[in-house]
Amino acid sequence: MRSVRKWIKARVAALTDRRKSTRISLPLVAYYWNGSSPQAHQVKGVSPGGAYIVTPDRWYMGTVLRLTFQYGSNCDDSQCGDTQGPRTVRDYPEITQVVLAKLVRADPDGVGVRLIFLNRRERRRFKKFLAVARARDIYETIVGSVWPTRGVG
C-alpha cells in the first residue's frame, strides 16, 4: 500500500507545473544563429527564468543558445522567419536583450529554454527588459482601444 501511495505522489508531482515563475505572453520575438541569417521566431511565453520559442529547429537537450529577444515585432505564423534581425538595436537598446539559454524541452511546434545569467546584473537587466516590455504592451493596448485608427492615413 505504501509503495502505491509513493508511486501516485511521484506521478502527480511529475504532472504538475515545475516552473518557478509565471510565464507571460508579450509581443516578443527571439533571434538565434543556426548557420544562416537570423530570423524572428515567436515567443509564446516568457518569464525571468525561461521562455517557449516557436521554431522548426531542433537541438539536443542541454544545448546552450545565445538568444536575442526583441520587443514589438508583430510576428504571427505567416510573418515569423521573414524579418532579418533586429534593426533598431542601436537606436533603442531597451527593446532588445541578449541572454544565454539552455534547451530543456522540445515539442512539435517549438522549444522550451531555461535562461542562463552569468551574474546578478544580467538577471536584473532582463527583468527590467520584461517590465518595460509589459508596460509598453499595456500602453499600446490602451492607446489602441482609445484611438483604433492610430497610424492610418
Output the domain CATH number for residue 115.
2.40.10.220
Q: For residue 128, is it within any domain?
A: yes
Is 92 a member of any domain? Answer: yes
Q: Taking the model in full, what pTM does it have?
A: 0.70
State residue 78's pLDDT score: 46
What percent of the residues of the chain are helix, what percent strand, and what percent coil, each to the nearest 5?
A: 30, 30, 40
Give the pLDDT score at 128: 92
Domain with 56 in it: 21-146
- Which triple of cell numbers denotes residue 69? 529577444
| pLDDT on residue 21 | 63
What pLDDT is attached to residue 14? 56
Which residue type occupies 2? R
> What pLDDT, on a 0 to 100 scale, did the predictor assign at position 105?
92
Paired strand residues for 97 = 69
Nine-digit cell string for 86: 533586429
What domain count does the chain have? 1
- Nine cell digits for residue 113: 529554454
One-character DSSP codes across 119-138: SHHHHHHHHHHHHHHHHHHH
Q: Give me the tens of pLDDT residue by residue for the chain, a chain 153 residues long.
A: 677 777 777 766 555 555 566 777 888 999 998 888 888 999 999 999 999 999 999 899 999 999 999 987 555 444 454 444 444 444 455 588 999 999 999 999 999 999 999 999 999 999 999 988 888 888 888 877 665 554 554
pLDDT in the model for residue 87: 45
1 is a domain residue: no
Tell me how crowded residue 17 is: count the other CB atoms within 10 A of its CB: 7
Instruction: Please indicate, yes or no, if residue 151 is contained in any of the structural domains.
Output: no
Q: All 3 cell numbers of residue 43?
A: 515567443
Pairwise CA distance, residues 54 & 102, whole Å: 15
The pLDDT value recorded for residue 36 is: 84
